Amino acid sequence: MNATLKTLKYCRKSKQAKTFEDNVQPYIVFGAVVVVLLVLNAIGTVYHAVVGNKKNSILSSWSVKENWRRLVRTYDDSDPIRAALSPIQGARVLLLFFVIIGHAIEITHKVHLANPIFFETAQKNPLSIFFKNGSSIVQAFVVVSNFLFAYMLLAYSQKNKVSISMLPLSILYRIVRISPVYLLMVGFKSSWWRLAGDGPLWSDLVIPESDVCRKKFWLHAFYVQNLIEPEKWCMLQSWSLAVDMQLHFVACFLTLVLLNNRRRALYIIGALFIASCVLNSGLAYIYDWKSLMYLLSPDVIRNTFEGVSSFWYFYTTPWGSLPACLLGLFVAHLHFYAKEQGYQITNAKWLVQLYNIAIPICLAWVLSGYIISFWTTHRSMATYIAIERPMFSALSALLLYGSTNKLDNCYRRFMAWSGWQVPARLSLCVLVLHRTINITLVAVRTAAVTTSVFAIATDVIITMFASYLLAIPLMVLVEMPIQRTFVTYITRGKQYE
């Protein structure tokens, strides 16, 4: 066998040491934004300490002391709405933990390995199926996000007048909820991240992504980066934020239009769910899309799905997650419809039993990949891609429905533990931080490493610790004060919770 060098990505001579660029504008802009945020926090903290929040609640929104208090406080079960939703907090934390593990494994594929055979043989390990066939776990976030929106809006509508005129405000609130920390992180990756370290992999892992962040900053700002040149990616995990925003338009419109007729809403949303599954199956058949289970080879992961259309044009798109969005809305409407009809979920013994074994079913569904991986015909793979994500979404919806109706079992008690509340509030900040931290840890390594399960676990622990540690100031200084300022201004003084 003869081999020739195809590309040389990360070789630099000693005279080509990394230097500060001539284009200093991105650094100045990001630095100015950070200074403004720090000044506002300083002013708000002093103002709140001296005057309180009685005269100018907007300035008080920037009080570091008050925002810290709001971050660390926990709630009891005295509020029935909070009590019903309490298991979601634990679910958010654990799901994010699994996402960090998946990204840590993916990033480890990109380092200089002294034992490259580790990943080649790891796929023969029975436990590898959880990585290969567990990517649908992200759909649980989509189900929860849209369920929470519809649930809170339907609860609000029971005591207040709600109409389609609320659509712009609902969308604006979601933008304000996500954009500050998200775009601040994209700005950091576009500028100062480039100077945060150096190493043999720095010019391959950090600089190219930073260049894309500069070119696609405004696409990120308008949440369309997953639709325009998706293979040129910045902050890979941000596709989920873009999809969340895109599907929020659908969720807002459907919920506001169908608000006054629960029964009709269930039929329409159910029909749309089935139609979305058929649509994805048809698109998969036409464009030869496959489940990631068929595609996750070491080479594909090392090159971040380069040329894999199934990932960029299905997995990271709004139509790929549309069934999960619709299921979230369906469960919220079903909850209130059953409540209005006086129906008790405990009357349906089969549903209670199904709820109690939902977690084992989830594990069984992932393990079924051993059998399904042998379905390699064009039609069977198109069929599987239509049911893979909806199946996991349906199980997530079942757990949501049972939890909000307070069906008690060990899973619900564990998820409802009050200790999950604080880390759950940091979820957005951790989501935008963790992959950057993990890549930085890898890119500064100057020698080939020997990877193992223990080494990957160490990366996960370090990444999680650093992510949650840095998420605290990001939450207290950026996310919370901007949200409180917006809500205070729009609602004219209603308390932000």
d(C-alpha 370, C-alpha 239), whole Å: 28
pLDDT at position 196 over 80: yes
pLDDT at residue 189 is higher than 90: yes
pLDDT (average), residues 143-149: 93
pLDDT at 493 over 50: no
Pick the closest to residue 87 from 346, 393, 403, 428 (CA basis).
403
Q: What is the rounded CA–CA span in Å between residue 134 and residue 75?
A: 32
In this predicted structure, the answer to whether residue 392 has a pLDDT above a threshold of 70 is yes
Look at residues 42, 33, 113, 31 and name the one whose alpha carbon lies nearest to residue 476.
42
In the DSSP assignment, the letter for residue 433 is H
Write down the pTM of the prediction. 0.91
Contact (CB, 8 A) for 110 and 302: yes
- Say whether pLDDT at 167 is over 60: yes
* Alpha helices per DSSP H over 341-409: 349-356, 358-367, 369-372, 378-404
Q: Are 443 and 146 in contact (CB under 8 A)?
A: no
365 vs 221: which has the higher pLDDT: 221
pLDDT band at 10 (very low <50, low <70, confident <90, very high): low
pLDDT digits (tens, 9 = 90+) for 255-268: 999 888 888 999 99
**Confidence at residue 49, expressed as pLDDT on a 0 to 100 scale:** 84
Average pLDDT over residues 225-254: 94
| Interatomic CA distance for residues 268 and 253, integer angstroms | 13
pLDDT value, residue 11 = 66
357: phi then psi, degrees, rounded to nearest 5: -110, 15
The average pLDDT across 319-337 equals 93
Q: Output the CA torsion sign for 476, 478, 484, 487.
A: negative
Res 27 pLDDT > 80 = yes
**Per-residue pLDDT for 381 more than 60?**
yes
Residue 152 has pLDDT above 60, yes or no: yes
User: Confidence band (pLDDT; 50, 70, 90) for 156?
Assistant: confident
Mean pLDDT of 268-290: 93
- Report which residue type is found at 338: A
Residue with tokens 């509020």: 79
* Nearest by Cα to 104 from 475, 471, 465, 472: 465
Answer yes or no: is pLDDT of 491 > 70. no
Share above pLDDT 90 across residues of the chain, in percent, rounded to a whole number: 48
Banded pLDDT at 12 (limits 50, 70, 90):
low
Mean pLDDT for 385-398 is 90
Q: pLDDT of 93-118, one tens digit each?
A: 999 999 999 999 999 998 888 998 99
pLDDT value for 348 = 78
> Rounded mean pLDDT of 57-67?
87
Q: Please state the rounded mean pLDDT for residues 245-261.
A: 91
Residue pair 272/278 in contact (Cβ under 8 Å)? The answer is no
Mean pLDDT confidence for 282-292? 91
